[in-house]
Amino acid sequence: MRRFATEKVKKLILGSFLSTRSPAPSSQLCSSSAAAAASAMGPTQSPPVTFDSINPKVLKCEYAVRGEIVSHAQRLQQELQTKPGSRPFDEILYCNIGNPQSLGQQPITFFREVLALCDHPSILDKSETHALFSADAIARAWQILDLIPGRAGGAYSHSQGIKGLRDAIAAGIAARDGFPANADDIFLTDGASPAVHMMMQLLIRSEKDGILCPIPQYPLYSASIALHGGSLVPYYLNEATGWGLEVSEVKKQLEDARSKGIAVRAIAVINPGNPTGQVLAEENQREIVEFCKKEGLVLLADEVYQENIYVDNKKFNSFKKIARSMGYGEKDISLVSFQSVSKGYHGECGKRGGYMEVTGFSADVREQIYKVASVNLCSNISGQILASLVMNPPKVGDESYESFIAEKNGILSSLARRAKALEDAFNSLEGVTCNKAEGAMYLFPRLHLPQKAIEAAKAANVAPDAFYARRLLDATGIVVVPGSGFGQVPGTWHFRCTILPQEDKIPAIISRLKAFHESFMEEFHD
Amino acid sequence: MRRFATEKVKKLILGSFLSTRSPAPSSQLCSSSAAAAASAMGPTQSPPVTFDSINPKVLKCEYAVRGEIVSHAQRLQQELQTKPGSRPFDEILYCNIGNPQSLGQQPITFFREVLALCDHPSILDKSETHALFSADAIARAWQILDLIPGRAGGAYSHSQGIKGLRDAIAAGIAARDGFPANADDIFLTDGASPAVHMMMQLLIRSEKDGILCPIPQYPLYSASIALHGGSLVPYYLNEATGWGLEVSEVKKQLEDARSKGIAVRAIAVINPGNPTGQVLAEENQREIVEFCKKEGLVLLADEVYQENIYVDNKKFNSFKKIARSMGYGEKDISLVSFQSVSKGYHGECGKRGGYMEVTGFSADVREQIYKVASVNLCSNISGQILASLVMNPPKVGDESYESFIAEKNGILSSLARRAKALEDAFNSLEGVTCNKAEGAMYLFPRLHLPQKAIEAAKAANVAPDAFYARRLLDATGIVVVPGSGFGQVPGTWHFRCTILPQEDKIPAIISRLKAFHESFMEEFHD
């Protein structure tokens, strides 16, 4: 179905949806303009909504992280339940998506205590509650409830989020950066994705508007640009220098797009990188800020992995901190920073909490962003609370501090070990090279495939990396996402693999990977 | 700023944004195409994002429920905090939005117990927990956790929502309707709004695609159609027959739109009505279903107020039940039913839970809806759980059943009394007529204003109903939304007022309303 779909998309993109075949009443496939004509002709047995009569922007959008390979994995999982032992593995390992708790990571106790107490405040003053919850969680829940008008945690909030929670987040940003932050700049959202959509909706007027995106990129960006009808302007990260972001390459692509009449409105920068795992150096970030200022680009800074750093020689710097340290303020650069509760050490993906910090926009533009936010009323309050906890966790002296730090460091140090173990394993495979994961949650190894494998993929009418990923899944139950879902230099092949399986499973995963890879290379050896 | 903005929008809509003034480098107001030209010309001190260079669809979108009157109310609220006694009232009463818990409505205990336990499952097997939580809440929390793969309530779920929760919702729908429902048809969403956006995104290809909407309508529909670049095709509800939905009127508007070359793709029906409060009769619903089938329209059924019925002679029937009872199945009609946890007797607006039940679409179209849902990964898990609780509440024999029913009936019977009291009060006012609120949470009284008041409004450059609402707010602190925000027959004036203030406050509200109205009529008497 998907391949069929994709071909139809190509036809649509090629404009065949503007053809005017006259509709047969029974036809399920009359073209959209024919449908329009039919509808416009007056009462008729109009066709229902068909593949060919839905919004072509929707057809154009792709999101590989939950694409065909995952659908196949879900089928295999059902098969394992109904026919145990029918496959050479007994479980599916979802390494396709940064979803830590789905692979056994435990939530941070303090965060969940506070969320539970805010969900059911009537137990706050019961004596038994003190036996079940830490004192500082109880105190924090009271503090948070007092920030909510009427303590009504079940009410719609201000469309940017509860003011007191935005104050806490702004204070957390200021403490992180050493520069002031303003609650009025914070828009709380159901995870980072809706925030990215909101900015694309604001910036994109037509296919003549372009957004610079790294290649490889997290496909939320390509999907959102497609849904809003804009043009993705790619800039390639340099794999040879550890996925380096080179401003000379960005400039070249910007000029090329402008020469084609594209109004390039913004640049998306993902730091730490997804799927590429690099952490930008401060000097590199300064160049990017300077470039955005000079070229009048909005800087869309995806900083959702800011807590996920695994190497001693790198640290996270927000683009706002960098810009302010260069002396650039509100009037100098338009900057949006995206943050999420789904990532970091907490990995609370299911809570759908996040925010964007919007700086350097005029009051009348800000009013329009607020208006778009207000149409959906507000983001979920538990996610809002969690976002404030992430930016304002327990402090030294709080009852939960020691256990909180132990949980946090335990997770982050384990992730660092898993990243290194998997990186080494990939690099030990014939024809595989893999850059270090300095941060984020992914490795993006490159596959140097034998010609026979590439021909076999062509014969199967799939990309070579999709062919490899499918074979890997069928042989081991390990789900990875083909590089083609993120974009890559034409003729190179990669896949994205998370570092999230629990640590005790890593050795078994590595041996399964190695065994599969050796037999794959054996099968397709030139 | 807003009026300034609105004028700019008119200019934009009139196409002046297609003019090609050459940009002065310092200009903050160069037109979008000029900006494009500037950007396309190559490296230049490009303008930042300005009001004139953002997506005109965003500018066109309006959402009165959180519009200018609410901003003014928030300013007054701050003034009351800093200067108590500075106004003839001591609190702002937000009757602009269906947000029950913001006005003191208490959440349903059982629902909050289950949510708290699912947020912090590690207390489930502690002995103290049995002293704090009802036994069936503990049992339900275990049941729900067992429905979540790996009991990972903090993980992203399937993009349609957790399968086991969708099963519970489907069972609830089947029990409600007496016809089967399928978990694969359920898409769980962060409230109903994102579900409506998803369908608009799917259906609208250009301004030549139209969506039939009731007038008056809930402005989510006009806002979403504007954001997605479609055309709103209005059909007027008949105020004289209690906001009757007459298919003859819909047919007239449909044919008129088609004669203008608009491909009308769907009809939105809000039942019970928002802002109009009518509950459709079964026979009327049958006509609508028949009409949609004959004309090949998708039926977008906004059924979020299905629990909010206040009169004995009306009951809620889902459009799916009506269609199935007419013998129409999957192949006969494309139907989407929207439901939310924000409304009903629970009013859990802040939880952002909801779903759409999608029936009568082909597999390849469904696959596209799933793809769009997957780009945002999933809706928040607490909202998903709450949606399953709303559709599957405590049953006879459960420990919580008696208290649950007492809470539920207490809220609904009080809402019915408040609706009647406010309806009678409005009808007792000179020059005001108000239809009964048979359901939902609103009254939509009509204002027959003296000519002098209309002239005063014109002089103030606002609509007469906005003028009245502003005066009402300044005199009483009561926030209502002018009818112009919902649409109304030209030359008629209304406002929407929720029935949600706590019952003990209603008498005082009514006397404030009466006193204001009398002085207003006195001031502007012809």
Question: Could you give the angle at the alpha carbon of A91 between the alpha carbons of A88 and A96, nearest 5°?
Answer: 110
Mean pLDDT of B148-155: 93
Say what the pLDDT of residue B386 is. 98
- Which residues on B lie below 8 Å from A224 (Cβ)? 375
The yes-or-no verdict on residue B34 having pLDDT over 50 is no
Rounded Cα–Cα distance for residues B148 and B157 (Å): 8
How many residues make up chain A in this entry?
526
Question: Given an 8 Å threshold on Cβ–Cβ distance, is A295 in contact with B119?
Answer: no
Give the 3-state secondary structure of residue B266. Answer: strand
The yes-or-no verdict on residue B436 having pLDDT over 60 is yes
User: Residues 14..73 of B with a Cβ closer than 8 Å to A: which?
Assistant: 28, 32, 35-36, 39-51, 54-59, 61-63, 65-66
B359-377 confidence digits (pLDDT tens): 999 999 999 999 999 988 9
- Which residues on A lie below 8 Å from B377 (Cβ)? 66, 191, 193, 349
- Which residues on A lie below 8 Å from B109 (Cβ)? 122
- At B30, the amino acid letter reads C
Q: Please answer whether residues A341 and A305 qualify as being in contact, where contact means their C-beta atoms are separated by less than 8 angstroms.
A: no
User: Residues 138..157 of B with a Cβ closer than 8 Å to A: which?
Assistant: 149-150, 152-157
Say what the pLDDT of residue A36 is. 41
Place of tokens 């003191």: B104
Say what the pLDDT of residue A526 is. 79
Q: Could you tell me if A128 lies within 8 Å of chain B, comparing CB atoms?
A: yes
B424 Cα to chain A: minimum distance (Å): 28
HSE-up of A372 (CA within 13 Å, CB side)?
29
Beta-strand ranges (E) seen in B303-395 are 335-340, 354-359
pTM (predicted TM-score)? 0.90
**CB-nearest partner of B126 from A107, A132, A202:** A132
B313 Cα to chain A: minimum distance (Å): 31
Q: Which residue of B has its CA nearest to A44?
A: B295
Tokens for A461, please give them: 């009418």
A462-512 confidence digits (pLDDT tens): 999 999 999 999 999 999 999 999 999 999 999 999 999 999 999 999 999
The residue among B33, B52, B66 with the most chain A CBs within 10 A of its CB, best to mutate, is: B66
Say what the pLDDT of residue B64 is. 74
Nearest to B373 by CA among B170, B188, B192, B183: B188
Question: Could you give the angle at the alpha carbon of A309 between the alpha carbons of A185 and A480, nearest 5°?
Answer: 100
Rounded Cα–Cα distance for residues B181 and B159 (Å): 19
Q: Which residue of B has its CA nearest to A121?
A: B112
Q: Which residue of A has its CA nearest to B294?
A: A45
ipTM over 0.85 threshold: yes
Q: Could you tell me if A320 lies within 8 Å of chain B, comparing CB atoms?
A: no
DSSP A21: P
Instruction: Report CA torsion sign: B33, B35, B38, B43.
Output: negative
Instruction: Report CA torsion sign: A226, A228, A230, A236.
Output: negative
- Which residues on B lie below 8 Å from A115 (Cβ)? 119-120
Q: Please answer whether residues B369 and B358 qualify as being in contact, where contact means their C-beta atoms are separated by less than 8 angstroms.
A: yes
Say what the pLDDT of residue B357 is. 98
Q: Supply the DSSP string of A179-233, one letter for each residue.
A: S---GGGEEEESSHHHHHHHHHHHH--STTEEEEEEES--THHHHHHHHTT-EEE
B209-265 confidence digits (pLDDT tens): 999 999 999 999 999 999 999 999 999 999 999 999 999 999 999 999 999 999 999
Mean pLDDT of B341-346: 96
B378-428 confidence digits (pLDDT tens): 999 999 999 999 999 999 999 999 999 999 999 999 999 999 999 999 999
Q: Could you tell me if B80 lies within 8 Å of chain A, comparing CB atoms?
A: no
Nearest to A136 by CA among A113, A166, A120, A118: A113
B72-125 confidence digits (pLDDT tens): 999 999 999 999 999 999 999 999 999 999 999 999 999 999 999 999 999 999
Strands B231-236 and B209-215 turn out to be parallel
Rounded Cα–Cα distance for residues B333 and B300 (Å): 11
Rounded Cα–Cα distance for residues B383 and B351 (Å): 5
Q: Which residue of B has its CA nearest to A220?
A: B375
Rounded Cα–Cα distance for residues A232 and A254 (Å): 11
Say what the pLDDT of residue B48 is. 67
- Which residues on B lie below 8 Å from A129 (Cβ)? 128, 132
Residues 6 or more apart in contact with residue A504 via CB below 8 angstroms:
none
Question: At B258, which helix (H) or strand (E)?
Answer: helix B247-259
A482 Cα to chain B: minimum distance (Å): 17
Q: Count contacts between A and B (CB, < 8 Å).
A: 352
Rounded Cα–Cα distance for residues B524 and B428 (Å): 18
Q: Which residue of A has its CA nearest to B200?
A: A55
Say what the pLDDT of residue A67 is. 75
- Which residues on B lie below 8 Å from A20 (Cβ)? none
Rounded Cα–Cα distance for residues A214 and A222 (Å): 10
Strands B93-94 and B478-479 turn out to be parallel
Rounded Cα–Cα distance for residues A79 and A102 (Å): 20
- Which residues on A lie below 8 Å from B202 (Cβ)? 49, 54-55, 58
Torsion of CA B428, B432, B433, B434, to 10 degrees: -80
Spell out, as residue ranges, where chain A has pLDDT lower than 50. Answer: 1-44, 46-47
